[in-house]
Amino acid sequence: MKLNDVTVRKAKPEAKPRKLSDGGGLYILIHPNGGKYWQLAYRFVGKQKTLALGVYPDVSLAAARKRRDEAREMLANSIDPGEAKQTQKREDKIAAANTFEAVAREWVENRSNDWTEAHKALTLKTLEQDAFPGLGRRPIAEISSSELLATVRAIEKRGALEIASRVLQRCGAVFRYGIATDRCKNNPAFKMSEALKSPTRTHYNTIEKGGFPQLLRDIDGYQGSPMTPYALQLMALTFTRTGELINAEWKEIDLDRAEWLIPAERMKMRRPHLVPLSVQAVAVFREAAKLSGCRVHVFPNRNDPSKPASNAIILRALGRMGYTGKMTGHGFRSAASTMLNENKSKWGIHKDTIELQLAHVEKNASRAAYNFAEYLDERRAMMQQWADYLDKLKAGAEVIQMRA
């Protein structure tokens, strides 16, 4: 006797599991806890087997019958439906591991040793916001050039040309990783940049021509938080990246040796960086120590002194001094690079000395190990020349011709 919807719905559990048959090997198994499971009893190559067809009421009687018929059709073609189901599960699992998002996240983790946590977070954020919504669930091997182009064109339409270029670059790296790990055969991002609008290349704002001496004087006269002028002075004296300075810890700094060793995990290129400190920089650090020397960080957070201050303190301070749109934290690096290169012949500085102090090091691992101490004496002398030069600029004893 075949089942009907009412019989299945009203079937009550008993002390032991019981079956209600529908014919053709299909039955519903009712457990003592009330759970109802569709199953198919069948024989394949002389062996009795059972195939799970789903849970009632998620799978209705009509759906269960359809699944039974599909399974029996497989049997008629000498295919074991149970084995076919397991094969499909394995393929689905492999496919899930080979989606664009899965491969992209694996690529990011694979690069973690080469990146700072901040760069890793920024890379993931870019992909999560602009690549995963359209491509994330797609098998990476099936993504076409037109599909990828549609994704980056959507970013272009927002007017975010720089972001579109960055997303394409990172997607290209994901596809190259997919090829290397045998998850896809082609890189649809290859040469696609030629199909995108070129973003207007802008540089970090650097003080306009001739304005650097006044900026240095304004920093000395800054009326905000007492720690902020020390941060601004050290940005000028050391020309490190904003995050490298603001996250500095006292254990990294040896004032007796006049050295600051920034650990690899806080450097953009994940390599330690030694900053020789001028007499002026040592003096600023000593003044800062009077306020924060008992803390872990040179510039502790006002709300939670166990943490470093926000990187934004540099930009906010520059804004309060009237330099919004004219100067940024990175502008100190740009200014130092420009002026040092313009004076390198006069001061007897080798270009490599400037590049090494800016932490523009080669990616080759063995070369980088040598670079750690390369030109150290020259860099030490250069940093003192630079600090003395800044003193002359503040005093108005030197006139500079900065590039606009």
Query: What does 55-73 look like in DSSP terms, one character per residue?
Result: EETTS-HHHHHHHHHHHHH
**Residue 159 φ/ψ region, left for φ over 0, alpha for ψ in the -120 to 50 degree band, beta for the rest:** left
Q: Which of 68, 241, 271, 380 is catalytic?
A: 241
Q: Which of 360, 367, 392, 403 is catalytic?
A: 360
* C-alpha to C-alpha distance for 96 and 388, rounded to whole angstroms: 60
Q: Which of 120, 153, 268, 326 is catalytic?
A: 268
* C-alpha to C-alpha distance for 148 and 155, rounded to whole angstroms: 11
Q: Which of 65, 68, 166, 333 is catalytic?
A: 333
Q: Is 241 a catalytic residue?
A: yes
Residue 197: C-alpha distances to residues 145, 278, 326 (Å)? 17, 45, 27
Q: Which of 89, 93, 209, 370 is catalytic?
A: 370
Phi, psi of 275 (to 5 degrees): -110, 105
Q: Residues 285, 255: contact at Cβ < 8 Å?
A: yes
* C-alpha to C-alpha distance for 300 and 227, rounded to whole angstroms: 9
Q: Which of 36, 67, 266, 330 is catalytic?
A: 330
DSSP character for 95? H
Q: Is 333 a catalytic residue?
A: yes
The amino acid present at 247, given as its one-letter code, is: N
Q: Residues 275, 260: contact at Cβ < 8 Å?
A: yes
Q: Is 370 a catalytic residue?
A: yes
Helix (H, G, I), strand (E, B) or coil at 21: strand
Give percent helix, percent strand, percent coil of the chain, each to the nearest 5.
Answer: 55, 10, 35
Helices (H) and strands (E) in the chain, counts: 17, 7
* C-alpha to C-alpha distance for 56 and 158, rounded to whole angstroms: 47
* C-alpha to C-alpha distance for 301 and 119, rounded to whole angstroms: 22
- Quick one: which of 318, 319, 341, 322 has its CA closest to 403? 341
Q: Is 177 a catalytic residue?
A: no
* C-alpha to C-alpha distance for 31 and 191, rounded to whole angstroms: 60
DSSP character for 308? B
The catalytic residue positions are 241, 268, 330, 333, 360, 370
